[in-house]
Structure 1
Amino acid sequence: MDVKDNIVSSESLVQFSLEYGLLRRLEEIHIPTYAEYAQVDFLYTIETYYEGFHQIFTDASKSRDGVGCAFHDPSTNINRKFRLNNHHSVFTAELFSIFKSLEYVEEKYQEFASDKILILSDSRSCLSSLSILRLDYTFTIIHKYILETLAKLKSWGLQVHFLWVKSHVGIEGNEVVDELAKQASRMDIVECRIYSPRDLIPHIKSTMFAKWEGIYNTQTKAKHYKSIQPIPVKHPWFNNKQFTRSINEEVESRDFVRVISRLRSGHTICPKYLHQIRKKTDNLCDCGEIGDLEHIILRCSKNRRNLETTIINICSILKTKYPFNLSSIMATNNPRVYYEVYKFVKNSDLII
């Protein structure tokens, strides 16, 4: 697999196999609870459970500079840094640093003073993934490499344990490897080209959204909707907690979403629209005026009493003066304004 010009391509689907006997939960993973004095808790854990273990700290970093990871061996003062591609997630980078630390153990264990190895990581999610081992899209080829390397080290008589450490609390080894990982993210040569689906999903989403945005901006149709939503968005207008809070106890939310969505799109059961789709012989309202959406909501004399109250409330909310058009008030995305419009529709017995 190769990455060039921000385009990820592969000649074939990435497939791998793993011996069934290696698919077991790693009981050697310890995720302790750290209280206020994390350094004291860390030292207590080491002295109680891991006295005499050869320690190796791992970490990863993802920033605007790039993605990198590293491991640090405080006993030998050996450090190694690895640059990953910008599309890699910090999860993959953390996992890769664990794998490279195990490769280092495989290479140097005969020089260690102990056959008990402790890999220390501040990535709780990575250690949990190794402990649970779900066979879904989160299981990557790096998991396979880690399990195979662990099996090899175990067959050589080594004990490998993992310990979660709390980050940025002054634990020396973790602070050192944290800085090494940041340095690795600024390196030029990429040393990891292994990808998992979760790494590429954000890149695929951003690429698809950019293409959609280009089509949306050049589209000449749907002028009414584009006047309300000039910029494409990734989430629907109602996918917002402020709308949920505003309408949750006052209106039936599904009906609220239906009415407002139709008003935003312009596809409503008004005389002009019914005439366009040949469901009505003319485009006139019962009052004799052209029955477009603007007229039905803001102009029709039939609904004058409810309309006056709605206009006063909207002017108060937006701190503006009448007249205004329907597109401008729908473009506010203001839940209180939408609620006033919704109340007007219901109180006037309008079918939208």
Structure 2
Amino acid sequence: MDWTTGGLVTANPVWVGSSELTMTPGGLRACVDAGAGAVVAKSVNESAAARRQLDIADYAFVSPDREVRQPGVAHREDGLLNRSGLAQVALDEWLGILAEAVSHGAGRGCPVLGSITLGDPPAAARIGRAMAKVVPGVELNIGAPHGREATAVRQLTEVDAVAEAVRAVRATVDVPLFVKLPGQASDVVALARAARSAGADGIGLVGRYPGFLPDLDGGAVLGSWGAWGSPACLPMSLYWVSKTRLALGPDVPLVGTNGARTTADVLRFLASGAGAVEIVTALWTDGPPVLAELAEGVQSFLEARDLTPAAFVGSALEGARDYADVAPVRPPAWLRYAGPSGR
């Protein structure tokens, strides 16, 4: 079954998100060949400082009981705390790498998208114009958590700033434009509405969160603050996906990210209103074969229930109620958790 999200037709809804895993020709090919629905290449921008930031990149996988593990022994259920930077390559060379990856993906029905992590909006627009000549879609990331720590990239959390940045890039990009938003903002739905009004074809929800973890032996894991994502973030991500779906309607394509590691996680993103789901950390821990596992799991689930993508995406919202519309729980649920003192 085909999936259509923001003007892109893909074989399945399991996309690969932008990361160091999509920063090289080999990494891009491996994700395409493993069965991704689409692949988002590593982000670039105009800043030399953002590229230098990759020199201090570091990664810590954190188990559910807070054990810190290195990449080689990480598990899929682990959270990821990391520092990162942007691709260390000149734009012309990067466009050549993208063109090769796009050609490889086209032969396998897998769109390869370019990605820009925002620095300066006019510069992003210039990069977008060049990128749109070689890729079938562009992701503008204005939700990078590293923007709270490094001036070379920006995280936008105000409606007017989002609209300005998206409008600038939209004016130069004539392919589908996806705008990735932060999860840490006073009103993510308002940011999504602003991005859509300014010309976004699709909305990515949501970027990872700022994180910090002491190592208890002195200092901090990674020796700094970082960006945090984990399976425990899933309900937080789905909150904004579902609320945005309700507010903007089913005609606004949404791409879910931050929290999906299993087939059930992907399905929960879809049921909440996302038309596609980006995977990154599960690729770090399980390698490219995880993509086929997730895609086949989604297809098997829908086929077993004779469901089309259109019928399933957003289906969980039919049973969701505002607090004011929820019937009283009988007997009161709090009694089950209050213990002897509550009786």
For normalisation by structure 2, the TM-score amounts to: 0.22
For normalisation by structure 1, the TM-score amounts to: 0.22
**Bigger share in helix:** 1
Find the structure with the greater CA-based Rg. Answer: 1
